[in-house]
Chains A and B, each alone.
Chain A
Amino acid sequence: MKISLNVDGTRYEDDVEPRTLLVTHLREQLGMTGINIGCDTSNCGACTLHLDGDSVKSCTVLAVQADGSDVTTIHGMSEDENDMARWHPLQQAFHAEHGLQCGYCTPGMIMAAADLLKHNPDPTDVEVREGIEGNLCRCTGYTNIVRAVQRAAKAMRDGTPVFADENAEVPA
């Protein structure tokens, strides 16, 4: 079937098999390998992205179901991936708070957290934990992910940068 998707601001028209998952289409046909696959049961959330503004696990959506939609992936989050100052505050905060180790869950985690902050700009520790419950991380134990989400939330509320000096010492 022919589908049309607007992914991170670019329009793509492709023929896809009806059974193709959105995540498979994005990875295999569009080459968007920043979206990861960590399971086959929709538990892990590594493939989380935004479909028409809402967070979804892209392994739970068929590519044909997304026809005509706007998709935002991790690649669409920063204004300039090469310029740390122009990253999304969540990307900056995950870096600053060491909210990632191997980084495999990170794109999905950031997309889920962005959706959480859209609905709750000032989440408590528990609210962050419940908000990202559908995304699994095996490296960090989540403590620094929660810190990162709250730090990004504050920066977004205040309209201030997450950190002024990337090389400044961070108390640990």
Chain B
Amino acid sequence: MSATETQTTPNVGRTRLRKEDARLVTGRTNWTDDIRMVGTLHMHVVRSPMAHARITSIDTSHAEQMPGVTGVYTGRDLEAEYGPLPCAWPVTEDMVNPAHLALATEEVAYVGDGVAVVLARSKAEAVDAAEQVLVEYEPLTPVVDMRTALDDGAATVHSDLDSNRSYTWPLQSPSPEACDEAFSGAAHVVTREFINQRLIPLAMEPRAVVVAPMGHTGEYTVWSATQVPHILRLMLALTCSVPEQQLRVVAPDVGGGFGSKLNVYAEEVLALVLARKLGRPIKWTETRSEGFQSTIHGRDQIQRISLAMDEDGRFRGLKVELLADMGAYLQLVTPGVPILGAFMYPAIYKMDAYDFSCTGVFTNKTPTDAYRGAGRPEATYAIERIVDEAAHELGVDPMELREQNWIKHEEFPYDMIAGLTYDSGNYEAATAKAVEMFDYEGKRGEQQSRRSSGDTKMLGIGISTFTEMCGLAPSRVLGSLSYGAGGWEHASVRMLPSGKAEVITGTSPHGQGHLTAWSQIASDALGIPFEDIEVRFNDTSIAHKGLDTYGSRSLVVGGYAVVRACEKVIDKARQLAAHMLEASEDDLEFADGTFSVKGSPDATTTIQDVALATFAGHDYPEGMELGLDSDATVDPENFSYPHGTHLAFVEVDTETGAVELLDYVAVDDVGKVVNPQIVEGQVHGGLAQGIAQALYEEVVYDDQGNLTTGTMVDYYAPSAADLPAFRTDRTETPATTNPLGVKGVGEAGAIASTPAIMNAVIDALRPLGVNEVLMPASPKNVWNALQAAQSTDGGAA
């Protein structure tokens, strides 16, 4: 039989049901809050109810007398135990980064800032005692509005700051002169200001941490609901002066993250130093309302954007000025989030010049940081909205204007004005498929008839032809952007004596399905059954190297590492197989898990046999090292650039302001696909979050800095009843920069959908003079936009 006849069906490219599910659907899970250890002390954090105040006194004496309480600690009591919480991305040399201690000592800077912790035998006892910690505050002026925060003489977020500006980061390409020229000679310049509102990531599993001293070794094990066990290990070691080799971080089952668990949090530091101090396990789990204050928020930018065009609509230049709300402190990558966006404003469009600047602003609010897409959804929103505005002003169809300006398929690879090189893409193909699925022309006709009928419920069509940068990231590029780490990834393959395999990955899943997808990749590469592969991760003692999961990087970089690790194992196995078959390595073919000698079809051995032989060690070539394991570290040469065309169809009731999403079509090009079902699921979930930004969600603070959307009752995360069934499909333009041809899919839906929905809402209301609706497009915001348009007599241009 020839190799092709024996080949089993490849696993990559087809749906395999997830290996993860058996435990999850039966409730046999192990979330951090499920961990129980004898002698555990439960930690409760006493938090500031004020946005900005000086702590004048803390009286812990009553709390200390409460039943079950073993200790109450203020910021002063613990300040010698740790340094400030880390920010790993100093985006400019002069960036202002206020010292961020796990517990405030002098001033509190946002509602939720920790001031003391109570330790007690039970969680209930800790909460009871915390109510008896008496903190006196002297109120200071809160800074709530990031615009006025930059005024001369404005109050500052921390008393020792000179201003509320953290940094200003500019990018002008190809030159300042070219940027001026693009605008000065333009026939049309369209300028808008968009508000990208603050959001709460809202992973369903609240954050939690358990830290325990482990026996005589001086080691601490940290179990945390984190996306980044490896980053957390290093950062906790540095922050708390615990030798890194004595820290083991485990992320057990983690219930979603969306960026909110891509951080190093005060409670992780506190639990570690208290476990060290007391020699007992310390446990903390946030309540949801507490998490709304103490877990990072996302987005929150004011975006001023101008698009310069020639007479015929060709894009000449783009100018973007951002104010980005940092909140009260810089968390792990807070300042870098809008900088990730900086590269995406030009999106899929060709232009002569690009002028970007971002100013990071402090306010007395919860810190912001990466939330699904991290800077790229904000960028995509602004560019896709202004292209619609430009089309409206030019009087052309918004799809035509996009088509006129996007990079043509035959022009790839393409050097973008923002400095990136897009390796591949096919915007024509994705758009053609989306337009057909959606019946774009038919729906335009329907919209027109509805308008002619004078119905008060109007129809709108929204377009988003997005791209993004994924696969974070080439380490050298991150270095050039002053990021504190690289973007490589690591994998190992261990062939076991029984012929099974363990794949170890430095990526850190929390719902994505790596166990299944990595098994598919390794199964095909090694030629051993999908079922015979176990994938190990989320524990720094098992996966000793890695940079974890965020930024749609796991498959693009981590999957690439798995491929390389498999290749190395096969190369090693080939040496022993040649010895076993008494043939030269060059004469061996490897397919489907079997080594065979060219021209001698009966002379074969399997990779499983080789694994057993290398375990036994009874007979192997002189000089060969035993063992059939490998390690591979890969550093991507470029980002990957998924793209797609999303189309939304909405009905807006002009009498109530209510928006109904009638249909949503998403055609994504994420390159080659390992598991179509998982890919579709990622797109669905992203869509729900992006649509939620457009229609439902918004963090609101009052003018004193109180979080008025402080519970799930007030912060409206959509349920199934709020969303339609999504219609999705794909085109497949492989990435050229990794062997799998994959591009990443984690953020696509969340990036593309927000502008698609908002363009649809505004498209519906254009005849009434509406050119802008604030997000979320709630009945109130739609109603206000309608009223504003009417009061200006049909609206502005």
Contact = CB atoms under 8 A, between A and B. Distances in A.
Contacts of B204: 36, 38, 44, 46, 102, 104-105, 136-139
Contact of A95 (B18, B34, B258): B18
A134 B205 contact: no
Contacts of B255: 36, 102-104
A35 B258 CA distance: 22
B253 A129 contact: no
Contacts of A73: 27
B206 interface: yes
Contacts of B287: 40
A127 B526 CA distance: 46
Contact of A84 (B22, B289, B680): B22
Nearest to B287: A40
B711 A172 contact: no
Interface in A55-87: 73-75, 77-78, 81, 84, 87
A96 to B, nearest CB: 6
Interface string A23-62: 0000100011111111111011010000000000000000
Contacts of A146: 720, 725
A141 B205 contact: no
A101 B685 contact: yes
Contacts of A37: 33, 206
B24 interface: yes
Interface in B13-58: 14-18, 20-31, 33-34, 36
- Say which size band chain A's interface belongs to: 35 or more
Contacts of B681: 98, 101, 139-140, 144
A44 B18 CA distance: 25
A143 interface: yes
B437 interface: no
Contact of A141 (B202, B253, B685, B721): B685
Interface string A111-149: 000000000000001101110111111111111111000
Nearest to B753: A141
Contacts of B712: 39-41, 43-44, 136
B256 A104 contact: yes
A158 interface: no
Interface stretch (B444-452, B459-467, B506-514): B506-514
B254 interface: yes
B191 interface: no
Given A41-B289, A167-B16, A142 B720 contact: yes
B26 A78 contact: yes
B79 to A, nearest CB: 30
Interface string B640-681: 000000000000000000000000000000000000111111
Contacts of B679: 172
A103 B684 contact: no
B684 A140 contact: yes
A15 interface: no
Contacts of B719: 129, 132-136, 142
Contacts of A74: 26-27
Nearest to A78: B26
A98 B289 contact: no
A166 interface: yes
B783 interface: no
Contacts of A106: 24-25
A109 B520 CA distance: 28
A130 B721 contact: yes
Contacts of A172: 15, 676-677, 679-680
A7 interface: no
Given A81-B26, A170-B17, A33 B203 contact: no
A101 B26 contact: no
B5 to A, nearest CB: 21
Interface string B699-726: 0000000000001110001011101011
B29 A95 contact: no
A40 B289 contact: yes
Contacts of B289: 39-41
Interface string B676-692: 11111110111111000
B207 to A, nearest CB: 12
B513 to A, nearest CB: 7
B288 A91 contact: no
A140 B20 CA distance: 15
B25 A110 contact: yes
B21 A95 contact: yes
B29 to A, nearest CB: 7
A116 to B, nearest CB: 11
Most buried by B among A126, A137, A172: A172
A33 B34 contact: yes
B159 to A, nearest CB: 33
B485 to A, nearest CB: 25
A14 interface: no
Given A36-B205, A41-B288, A133-B720, A81 B510 contact: no
Contacts of B721: 126, 129-130, 133
B202 A138 contact: yes
B396 interface: no
A75 B27 CA distance: 6
Contacts of A103: 20-21, 23-25, 29, 253, 255, 511
B749 interface: yes
Given A38-B204, A40-B711, A170-B15, A142 B688 contact: yes
Nearest to B727: A143
A133 B722 CA distance: 8
Nearest to A148: B25
A86 B263 CA distance: 40
Contact of A98 (B14, B203, B678, B688): B678
Given A138-B203, A140-B684, A100 B288 contact: no
Contact of B680 (A32, A33, A98): A98
B45 to A, nearest CB: 15
Q: Which 3 A-B pairs have the closest CB atoms?
A: A34-B27, A102-B511, A103-B24
Given A75-B27, A141-B685, 14 more contacts: A39-B712, A40-B288, A43-B711, A101-B682, A103-B25, A104-B203, A110-B25, A132-B720, A136-B717, A138-B688, A138-B717, A141-B686, A146-B725, A166-B17
Interface of A: 17, 19, 27, 31-41, 43-44, 46, 73-75, 77-78, 81, 84, 87, 91, 94-96, 98, 100-107, 110, 125-126, 128-130, 132-146, 166-167, 169-172
25 contacts: A32-B27, A34-B27, A34-B28, A39-B712, A40-B289, A43-B712, A43-B713, A73-B27, A74-B26, A84-B22, A95-B22, A98-B17, A98-B677, A102-B510, A106-B24, A129-B719, A132-B719, A136-B717, A138-B204, A141-B723, A166-B17, A169-B15, A170-B15, A172-B676, A172-B680
